Amino acid sequence: MTEHQNNKIRYIFAVAFIIFACLTGIKSIHPSEKAYKLSPEHAGGDLVISCEFEDQTFPLAFISPSGEEAEATCHESGKFATYIIKDAEPGVWKVSYNETYGKTFIYSIKE
């Protein structure tokens, strides 16, 4: 096979893969990104979440019941952090983080 034929075959495979990805809904997801539901369900008002991390704190993202990432005020001290979300909507909240920072943390929700 000539170089031109090899390039043509690569191009066809690339186009076929893109079409396949579009039709099947393949999404780019970081393999170490995790999201977990927080419980209990939040009743509304300020949401206060206290966390204890394995070694040190790492970035967390809080996702509202409507799917929006919320602004949280964070107070850190060593391997402990308290996050406050003002006027948080009621419902089940999620926390998302990248496992490359750490694998575990313990949390509690203050009502």
Whose structure tokens read 């406050």? 84
* Terminal Cα-to-Cα distance of the chain (whole angstroms): 70
Structural domain of residue 99, as residue ranges?
Answer: 30-110
Integer-rounded Cα radius of gyration of the chain: 21
Instruction: Determine contact, residues 101/58, Cβ cutoff 8 Å.
Output: yes
Question: Has residue 14 been placed in a domain?
Answer: no
Q: What is the CATH number of the domain that holds 61?
A: 2.60.120.380
In a domain, 53, yes or no: yes
User: Which residue has 């952090």 as its token pair?
Assistant: 81
pLDDT in tens, 42-81: 888 899 998 888 877 888 889 999 999 999 999 998 889 9
Mean pLDDT of the chain, nearest integer: 76
CA distance 8 to 24: 24
